[in-house]
Structure 1
Amino acid sequence: MKVVAFIGSARKNGNTATVVKQILAGSQSKGATTEVFYLHDYNIKPCQGCRYCEERNRCKITDDDVPVLHQAIIASDAIILGTPTYYGDITGQFKQFVDRCYPFCQIVTDGKGKMEFYSILPQRKLGILVAISGSMGPEVLDSHIKVAGHCFNDINAEFWRKILVPYTTWTPVTADHPVMATAFKTGEELVEAIANKKDG
């Protein structure tokens, strides 16, 4: 059982990473294997909008680190997406990662202009979003939720849970922050949910 996290922040001990690592600690306590990818450490070229992947389900760009990230997605049972807020939205590195997940998307049309979006991945996963805001309230995180939802759809992940933490400029995420208990319990419950899915 494997839980993989992708963090769109360069701060490996910042608010976002602290919450994500606490979820992973909860999962580890229940026997899960975990892995963290700090997206800032990887060469992720921007999507070119060439639509190559819509016909081939693979990206035309082959000279960056995205294949490593894609393989981690494929091998996982659950995925955590984590991003802080920059200028009122997700980070640029997080957006580039999400854009490059598009090759997993399968588009079905009815010939009358209606399009539906599915995933080519056969295994249904569970997905968690961790979204952090510094000086803004929870309403700013609506866009984070929307983008994560699209990404989870493409990689065949149920949007299982979200942890939203606003106002961290005044209340940074430290060991005694209330969200830490929630995050650990979420990690524990995630493993139980994965096990139930496998049994079902």
Structure 2
Amino acid sequence: MNLDDPRAQRSRARLRTAILELVAAKDPASITMSEVAKHAGVNRATLYQHFPDVNALVTDALEETVAHVARAAALCPREAPRDDAPQPLYELFQHIAESAALYRRMLGTQGSALFAARMRERLTAELVASFQEQRRPAGFDDVPAEVHAAYLAGALIGVIATWVDDDAPAPAEETALAFWRLFRN
């Protein structure tokens, strides 16, 4: 199969959308390949051409979600004032609010350790790359960049997980600002 073929790309996009919608609604372990194919409007043979099982599809579909979070975190200008969170951070928390059911399913108390680990790994890598481009906050020269990045990634994931698991979460803007204040100190 040629992954550059527009038909293959459309099928994969439909499958990713379908699995994200299904995962937001129910436990990934209870989702069948037949259910995914039906939800995506493709036949099972097409689904199996692209993904061997539900876990592979979930991993692939969530990669863009993880990449989105990682890019937004790495784009935050470190010199922004303490009481004005950077726009990428506001946008990140707004994105998470719009997909709260998915993030709750993947990071909340009943979440996926694999997803959390993948997100932490990707966030850490993006932050290290950002630090190598001289975008590291001042005052941390005595801490290895990888350790600093892992610390920040873990903190962000912890805040996101707690926020989406809350029965009455604060607005995205408030949470972004709270995280920024913690980050800046």
TM-score by length of 2: 0.29
**Larger radius of gyration, structure 1 or 2?**
2
Bigger fraction of residues in helix: 2
Structure number with the bigger relative contact order (C-alpha 8 A, sep ≥ 6) is 1
